[in-house]
Amino acid sequence: MTTVTTGDVVAPTQDDPVVRAGSEVVGGPLGRRAARGRSWWTPLRVLLALTFLTCGLGLVQKDWCRDHAWAAPGDYTHACYSDIPPLYFGRGLADGDIPYIGQAPDKQVEYPVLTGAVMFVTAHLVPSHGTPDDRSRWYFDINALALAVAAGVAVVATALVSGRRRWDAAMVAGAPVLALAGTINWDLYAVAFLALGMLAWSRNRPLAAGVMIGLGAAAKFYPLFALGPLLVLCLRAGRMREFWATFVAAACAWAVVDVPVMLADFQGWSKFYRLSETRGAGFSSIWFVLSQQGHPVPENRLNLIAGGLFLALCIGIAVLALAAERRPRLPQLVFLVVAAFLLTNKVYSPQFVLWLLPLAVLARPRWRDLLIWQAAEVVHFVGIWLLIAGYPPGRSDRALGNDGYDLTVLAHVVATLWFAGLVVRDVLRPEHDPVRAPLPAGGPVGEPAGEPVDDPAGGVLDGTPDRLRLVPTTPSP
């Protein structure tokens, strides 16, 4: 399909078959001779408006819980549960406790430090008057607003990383999973930091990229996984100086946030890491499903097996990156590594899908594929809440049994594997990669007609020749 560009932005109605078909409702795809006057509604402003609309719809979906103070089992049967209100009281935030410092063991915050800081700051914005239900509602609403801003940051960063495919970020801004899972927990801050880190890297600013990745790791640990793909790609391109700058900056940023808390109260600070090590198979993981089906993995071996499987997948991704005929794009590898972690991890909380969302859009920007994957995630989203609604047994007549729930987990696992398979195919056969599709004549200034792009998110890697490859390139005749 010929791709039409407007200035330096690809027109989605000419690039994506799903968008092209949907555009018939409003007059059809953009033509080559369409008038393209200036408008206040730039792509970034439209994307921000769409983001806030999606987050607003998410609040509407949570309306039952807001009206009924997140009472169980209704918060599960209406699929509007959030960790935010119960943790406001459960972690002493309503009483002014400082996370990590001098807290009783049963009130210690179980998240990395930057997330705990956000929990603490937003708690101080809650009015002191009112009933406990009123205060928990205020706390939720304040955090929902802040999380919507974080989502907007992630969308804008994703759009800028996409280069000429700026409209691809609409797949993040209008994602069903953003509306459903955006306010379950505080994960969107880490999502925004990683998106900013990838933006800084794409702009040839490795130090800033490292700072953003380090801050993301101080909010949720997973942004550190981006350093693995960076290492492999920089090794292949011979740009290790930039990688080490990013690595050191990430370590320093993480240390600036974490070390003071670690020194002030090691037990409080380490709660997240101790819990990650000692917890058993959690909801929606493959290990939980195996346990429900009568094939449990012994708890004393679960860390070794899950960690070993993740390590094996990472090695496979590294081999793929070093052996592929053309160097993979950075978002492709980061998506594969994060997906590998989520599929092998001991727990898959429903909001974890947000970790993958911008990465999936950058790795394979196709509406059909994103919607199929998200449809499976929505099925899983409903399944997890209907399972918990039945705890203890008989609490709700709308609860979902173990077998039905296991099918929803299978749907999420299969869909994620399928999407990852498409990304792997794009790596091995770049002609299928929408990002690397050749430009038509009259494309953006500075890019010759018909010449494909390399990696808009690659920064110093973009267009750099290889220095190391596992399989030598065969000269073309």
Q: What is the pLDDT of residues 135-163, one digit of tens each?
A: 999 999 999 999 999 999 999 999 999 98
To the nearest 10 degrees (0 to 180), the angle between helices 367-388 and 402-428 is 160
| DSSP run (H or E) holding 312 | helix 299-323
Distances (CA, A) of 50 to 152, 192, 372: 9, 16, 20
Specify the 3-state DSSP secondary structure of 438: strand
Cβ pair 152, 308 in contact under 8 A: no
Q: Looking at residue 5, what is its pLDDT?
A: 42
Crossing angle for the helix pair 227-237 and 299-323, to the nearest 10 degrees: 30
| 55: nearest Cα among 142, 176, 193, 164 | 176
> Residue 30: pLDDT band by 50, 70, 90 thresholds?
low
Closest CA to 193 of 250, 136, 241: 250
CA angle 23, 29, 34 (to 5 degrees): 135
> 266-322 pLDDT, tens per residue?
999 999 999 999 999 999 999 999 999 999 999 899 999 999 999 999 999 999 999
pLDDT tops 50 at residue 446 = no
Q: What is the average per-residue pLDDT within 357-378?
A: 96
5 near 444, Cβ under 8 Å?
yes
Res 441 pLDDT > 50: no
pLDDT in tens, 75-118: 999 999 999 999 999 999 999 999 999 989 889 999 999 999 99
User: Is-contact 144 122, C-beta < 8 A?
Assistant: no
Q: In which residue are the tokens 């009281």 written?
A: 89
pLDDT band at residue 398 using 50, 70 and 90 as cut-offs: confident
pTM score, whole prediction? 0.91
The answer to whether the bond into 73 is cis (omega within 30° of 0) is yes
pLDDT exceeds 90 at position 26: no
Give residue 451's pLDDT: 55
pLDDT in tens, 180-233: 999 999 999 999 999 999 999 999 999 999 999 999 999 999 999 999 999 999
Q: Is the pLDDT of residue 251 over 60?
A: yes
**Which of the 8 DSSP states describes residue 397?**
T
Contact indicator for 122, 143 with CB cutoff of 8 Å: yes
Sign of the Cα torsion 59, 63, 66, 71 reads negative
- Can you give the residue ranges of every domain in the chain? 42-437+447-461
